[in-house]
């Protein structure tokens, strides 16, 4: 099998594993390979199942066989079990010592019905109502539909908002300014007015100390003595969102230089290449390599070498446009992606960077030079051919004495 075939297959496999949307099909030359077709179908089944489970569709039929599929089915079964236990707690059965977890759409409906029944005769059932209401671990609040005045809230909501009970009950939800986006709040009210409920809508709140909190709010209209109120439960997902952002950042960032890594560069390259192929907009690449970098490591040590790489990346990042993209291609090689830039402009930028680096005094290592290879999109049939031309231009610059800019 040729290297080109392997690269094309790997590119497709990476796409169905890493990309949000799959924009390609399995390469034609592999469509008769039953083993690859089976792997392709299994990965797509896993994608579909994880996506469905991730948004709470626990009834989704997981298709396929094998260890990963079986593991997904076990996860789905566990989540169904947790949902069932949550429903029991919502109905007032606290005999099971479980922490409240996960998706609570059905449980929320049962809880709201229980609370609505209890509130109808609050004087007789106040003690029982308070027991259920205050035991809910997530911030829970009941407000009048028209004025937004707070009818009741639990202790979790008091802690969540940062306001004390006197402040909460003295005005309305507008007064305590919990919502940061009035349009989002109005859309919640509109949906409640239309359907009577809102489930897991992501919204940003601000507490009394002006700290932003990301939450999932689920709300339902309830009737108390002939008047319409809104029962809302808020799930604080701030830490989860921060963790997701950190994981996302780590997945696309080079650990040392803190610029994009090869994985992210490949993704951007594919996107820009496709855009230029459709629109005929100019699109260029600059491949950069630090000259004699091995000598830096051998002479000063790898710690100094790392400092040089970090400083080098900063120089590149600080001297390109906001629309340009720079990342570490590998080792001491860097790649700059220049959208809507023809060959002439790319060469000018490469010469500018080459000069800046030549006269820059790197910590410990002193003077260092670099070589540049420039390639602009022409009639390339793939990203690989464009990158190959930039790479060949780079090697031409190195072979002809280094500290040069060459074009292919």
- Predicted confidence (pLDDT) per residue in 180-205, tens digit: 677 888 888 888 888 988 888 888 88
Neighbouring-strand partners of residue 289: 333, 371
Q: What average pLDDT does the structure give for the chain? A: 82
Per-residue confidence (pLDDT) for residue 113, from 0 to 100: 57
Per-residue confidence (pLDDT) for residue 96, from 0 to 100: 45
Q: Residue 130 pLDDT more than 70?
A: no
User: Mean pLDDT throughout 279-291?
Assistant: 93
Instruction: From 223, 226, 171, select the one nearest 192 (Cα to Cα).
Output: 223
Q: 106 near 83, Cβ under 8 Å?
A: yes
Better pLDDT: 118 or 225: 225
Q: Residue 360 pLDDT more than 90?
A: yes
User: Mean pLDDT throughout 106-115?
Assistant: 54
Per-residue confidence (pLDDT) for residue 95, from 0 to 100: 46
Q: 369 near 358, Cβ under 8 Å?
A: yes
Long-range interactions of 103-106: CB distance < 8 A, separation 24+: 103/56, 103/58, 103/79, 103/200, 104/218, 104/233, 104/235, 105/56, 105/199, 105/200, 105/218
Per-residue confidence (pLDDT) for residue 118, from 0 to 100: 55
Better pLDDT: 221 or 180: 221
Q: 222 near 291, Cβ under 8 Å?
A: no
Q: 302 near 353, Cβ under 8 Å?
A: no
Q: What is the pLDDT of residues 361-401, one digit of tens each?
A: 999 999 999 999 999 998 778 899 999 999 999 999 999 99
Per-residue confidence (pLDDT) for residue 101, from 0 to 100: 44
Q: What is the pLDDT of residues 56-83, one digit of tens each?
A: 788 888 888 888 888 888 777 767 766 7
Compute, in degrees rounded to 10, the torsion defined by CA atoms 314, 319, 324, 330: -40
Per-residue confidence (pLDDT) for residue 69, from 0 to 100: 81
Long-range interactions of 114-118: CB distance < 8 A, separation 24+: 114/90, 115/222, 115/231, 116/222, 116/223, 116/224, 116/231
User: Mean pLDDT throughout 325-337?
Assistant: 95
The span from the CA of 235 to the CA of 202, in Å, is: 9
Burial of 256 per CB tally in 10 Å (0-12, 13-18, 19+): middle
The span from the CA of 240 to the CA of 216, in Å, is: 11
The span from the CA of 150 to the CA of 169, in Å, is: 6
Q: Residue 313 pLDDT more than 90?
A: yes
Better pLDDT: 123 or 63: 63
Q: Residue 239 pLDDT more than 50?
A: yes
Q: Residue 105 pLDDT more than 50?
A: no
Per-residue confidence (pLDDT) for residue 302, from 0 to 100: 94
Same fold, 104-240 and 253-407: no
Q: Which of the 8 DSSP states describes residue 28?
A: G
Report the sign of the C-alpha dihedral through residues 91, 92, 97, 99, in that order.
positive
Neighbouring-strand partners of residue 286: 336, 374
Q: 221 near 228, Cβ under 8 Å?
A: yes
Instruction: From 121, 145, 125, 144, select the one nearest 133 (Cα to Cα).
Output: 125
Whether domain 104-240 has CATH 3.20.19.10: no
Q: What is the pLDDT of residues 37-53, one digit of tens each?
A: 888 888 888 888 888 87
Give Cα separations from 232 to 10, 143, 226 (angstroms). 47, 8, 19
Fold designation for 253-407: Alpha-Beta Plaits (3.30.70)
Residue 130 neighbours by CB distance under 10 Å: 14
The span from the CA of 56 to the CA of 250, in Å, is: 26
Q: Which of the 8 DSSP states describes residue 29?
A: G
Confidence band of 406 (pLDDT split at 50, 70, 90):
very high
Active-site residue among 311, 332, 344, 406?
332
Length of the chain, in residues:
408
Max avg pLDDT among 104-108, 131-135, 143-147, 214-218 = 214-218
Per-residue confidence (pLDDT) for residue 112, from 0 to 100: 53
User: Mean pLDDT throughout 236-240?
Assistant: 86
3-state secondary structure of 199: strand
Active site residue 332: yes
Better pLDDT: 173 or 322: 322
Confidence band of 325 (pLDDT split at 50, 70, 90):
very high
Give Cα separations from 29 to 3, 34, 38, 381 (angstroms). 14, 12, 15, 17
* Domain ranges for the chain: 3-84, 104-240, 253-407
Per-residue confidence (pLDDT) for residue 287, from 0 to 100: 97
Confidence band of 2 (pLDDT split at 50, 70, 90):
low
User: Mean pLDDT throughout 130-150?
Assistant: 81
Q: Residue 216 pLDDT more than 60?
A: yes
The span from the CA of 376 to the CA of 362, in Å, is: 31
Confidence band of 135 (pLDDT split at 50, 70, 90):
confident
């Amino acid at each position: 099998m040729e290297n080109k075939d392997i690269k094309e297959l790997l590119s497709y496999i990476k796409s169905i594993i890493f990309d949000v949307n799959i924009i390609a099909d399995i390469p034609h030359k592999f469509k008769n390979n039953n083993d690859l077709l089976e792997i392709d179908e299994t990965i797509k089944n896993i994608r579909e199942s994880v996506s469905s489970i991730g948004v709470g569709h626990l009834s989704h039929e997981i298709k396929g066989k094998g260890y990963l599929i079986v593991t997904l089915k076990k996860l789905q079964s566990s989540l169904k079990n947790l949902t069932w236990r949550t429903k029991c707690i919502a109905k007032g059965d606290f005999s099971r010592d479980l922490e409240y977890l996960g998706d609570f759409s059905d449980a929320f409906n049962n809880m709201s019905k229980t609370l609505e029944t209890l509130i109808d005769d609050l004087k007789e059932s106040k003690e029982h109502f308070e027991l259920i209401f205050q035991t809910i671990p997530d911030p829970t609040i009941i407000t009048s539909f028209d004025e937004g005045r707070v009818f009741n809230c639990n202790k979790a909501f008091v802690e969540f908002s940062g306001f004390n009970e006197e402040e909460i009950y003295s005005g309305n939800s507008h007064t305590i300014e919990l919502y940061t986006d009035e349009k989002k709040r109005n859309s919640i009210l509109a949906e409640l007015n239309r359907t009577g409920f809102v489930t897991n809508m992501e919204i940003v709140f601000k507490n009394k100390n002006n700290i932003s909190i990301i939450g999932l709010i689920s709300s339902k209209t309830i009737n108390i003595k002939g008047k319409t109120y809104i029962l809302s439960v808020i799930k604080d997902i701030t830490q989860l969102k921060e963790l997701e952002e950190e994981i996302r950042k780590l997945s696309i960032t080079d650990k040392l230089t803190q610029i994009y890594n090869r994985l992210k560069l490949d993704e951007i390259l594919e996107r820009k290449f496709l855009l230029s192929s459709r629109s005929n907009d100019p699109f260029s690449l600059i491949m950069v390599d630090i000259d004699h970098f091995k000598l830096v490591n051998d002479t000063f040590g790898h710690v100094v070498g790392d400092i040089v790489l970090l400083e080098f990346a900063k120089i590149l990042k600080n001297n390109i446009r906001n629309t340009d993209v720079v990342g570490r291609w590998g080792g001491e090689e860097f790649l700059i992606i220049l959208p809507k830039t023809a060959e002439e402009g790319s060469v000018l930028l490469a010469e500018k960077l080459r000069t800046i680096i030549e006269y820059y005094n790197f910590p410990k290592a002193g003077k260092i030079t670099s070589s540049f290879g420039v390639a602009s999109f022409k009639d390339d049939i793939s990203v690989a051919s464009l990158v190959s031309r930039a790479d060949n231009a780079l090697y031409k610059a190195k072979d002809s004495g280094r500290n040069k800019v060459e074009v292919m």
